[in-house]
């Protein structure tokens, strides 16, 4: 499975990012980065974070960290802003140039976020951004709605978990495409109704199981973990069954 750098844009007292009515972009970015990273880790992805708390890093430092990690992909998470409040709405993903795997990932992320309810503003080339120009791997910068647009903030807050899942799904659509690696997963349920799946997901998360939802074959599949070793999946399944869950192991 791939190694992915997740970058929470901005940070620290000197760089809060865009600010609207006391809401600071750096905080939204960090919260989302940690949530997306957790979902990716649950899928067996090796995740590297540029920051996990409120610190300032120069863009070149973020790029250097990513390059030193030997990562396969770089994903920077941001919120957009506009000159006037409620002027624009929607998601946009930036790339150095609109080609290759970075373009595929950008389009996949936008498509998934559109499914959550955002307007899809498309993929934009921004070759001047250091985190896109100086990274040595395919890199994208996601603008997850406008921080000074009330409807985007409401969507961000009310559907936060779905947004994190959507971004992770977009990343996995490209970064997870590695048929040479078999991963064992423990499935706890499959539903056509998304709400039923989310109910089980939250129940498992509250019990500290690394659960997530995989949308596949018109079902919302609630699964736990992604293990390279069958014995690790077997141990997880035993723990779930001790808690009363009906499970099976899948790949």
Give pLDDT, residue 151: 98
Give pLDDT, residue 147: 98
Using only C-alpha atoms, what is the Rg of the chain? 18
- Mutual orientation of helices 100-116 and 160-175 as an angle, nearest 10°? 150
Give pLDDT, residue 179: 46
Q: Which residue is catalytic, options 107, 143, 162, 237?
A: 143
Is 41 known to be catalytic? no
Quick check: 167 and 215 in contact, CB under 8 A?
no
pTM for the model stands at 0.73
Q: Which two tokens stand for residue 225?
A: 């973990």
Beta strands 91-95 and 23-24 are unpaired
Quick check: 166 and 156 in contact, CB under 8 A?
no
State pLDDT tens for residues 54-92.
Answer: 999 999 999 999 988 888 999 999 999 999 999 999 999
Quick check: 39 and 212 in contact, CB under 8 A?
yes
State pLDDT tens for residues 199-218.
Answer: 998 898 888 787 778 777 88
CA distance 148 to 79: 9
* Intervals of the chain under pLDDT 70: 1, 177-183, 226-228
Give pLDDT, residue 1: 67
Give pLDDT, residue 38: 95
Give pLDDT, residue 2: 86
Beta-bridge mates of residue 227: 184
Give pLDDT, residue 183: 67
Judged on CB neighbours under 10 Å (0-12, 13-18, 19+), 142 is buried
Give pLDDT, residue 181: 52
Q: What are phi and psi of 142, to 5 degrees?
A: -100, 125
CA distance 140 to 95: 5
Beta-bridge mates of residue 74: 5, 139
């Amino acid at each position: 499975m791939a190694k992915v750098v997740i970058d929470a844009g901005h940070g620290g007292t000197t760089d809060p990012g865009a600010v609207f009515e006391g809401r600071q972009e750096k905080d939204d970015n960090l919260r989302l980065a940690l949530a997306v990273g957790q979902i990716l880790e649950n899928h067996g992805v090796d995740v590297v974070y540029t920051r996990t708390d409120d610190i300032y890093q120069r863009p070149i430092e973020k790029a250097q960290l990513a390059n030193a990690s030997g990562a396969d992909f770089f994903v920077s998470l941001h919120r957009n802003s506009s000159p006037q409040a409620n002027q624009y709405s929607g998601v946009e993903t930036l790339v150095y140039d609109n080609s290759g795997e970075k373009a595929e990932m950008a389009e996949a992320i936008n498509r998934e976020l559109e499914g959550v309810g955002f307007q899809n503003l498309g993929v934009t080339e921004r070759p001047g951004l250091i985190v896109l120009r100086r990274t040595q791997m395919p890199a994208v910068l996601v603008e997850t709605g406008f921080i000074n647009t009330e409807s985007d903030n409401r969507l961000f807050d009310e559907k936060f978990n779905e947004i994190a899942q959507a971004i992770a799904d977009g990343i996995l659509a490209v970064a997870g495409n590695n048929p040479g690696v078999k991963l064992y997963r423990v499935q706890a349920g499959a539903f056509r109704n998304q709400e039923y799946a989310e109910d089980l997901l939250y129940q498992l998360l509250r019990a500290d199981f690394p659960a997530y939802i995989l949308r596949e074959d018109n079902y919302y599949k609630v699964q736990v973990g992604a293990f390279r070793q069958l014995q690790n999946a077997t141990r997880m399944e035993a723990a779930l069954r001790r808690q009363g869950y009906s499970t099976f192991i899948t790949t």
